[in-house]
């Protein structure tokens, strides 16, 4: 099981996406993606669900 901080960044990089592009594709602020990856903000349930659907992973792995 991946931790949320490294897991999100790993998933994003595996798809070849910048933080800005990922944010645009799931409809959130770029600053939210940065904060989630840096651990300065906890991923909200809504954003975890959006990310999980985008990456086809369980939302629990991102929270």
User: What domain range is 41 assigned to?
Assistant: 4-62
The tokens describing 3, both together, are 């931790």
Q: For the segment 31-41, what is each residue's pLDDT rounded down to a tens digit? A: 999 999 988 88
Q: Determine which helix (DSSP H) or strand (DSSP E) holds 42, and give its type and residue range.
A: none
Count up the domains in the chain and report the number. Answer: 1
What's the confidence (pLDDT) of residue 3?
Answer: 47
The Cα 61–Cα 24 span in angstroms is 21
- Are the C-beta atoms of residues 1 and 55 closer than 8 Å to each other? no
Instruction: Return the CATH number at 15.
Output: 1.10.260.40
Q: What is the pTM for the complete model shown?
A: 0.83
């Amino acid at each position: 099981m991946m931790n949320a901080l490294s897991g999100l960044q790993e998933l994003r990089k595996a798809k070849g996406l910048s933080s800005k592009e990922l944010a645009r594709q799931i409809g959130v602020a770029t600053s939210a993606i940065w904060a989630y990856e840096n651990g300065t903000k906890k991923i909200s349930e809504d954003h975890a669900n959006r990310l999980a659907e985008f990456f086809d992973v369980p939302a629990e792995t991102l929270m």
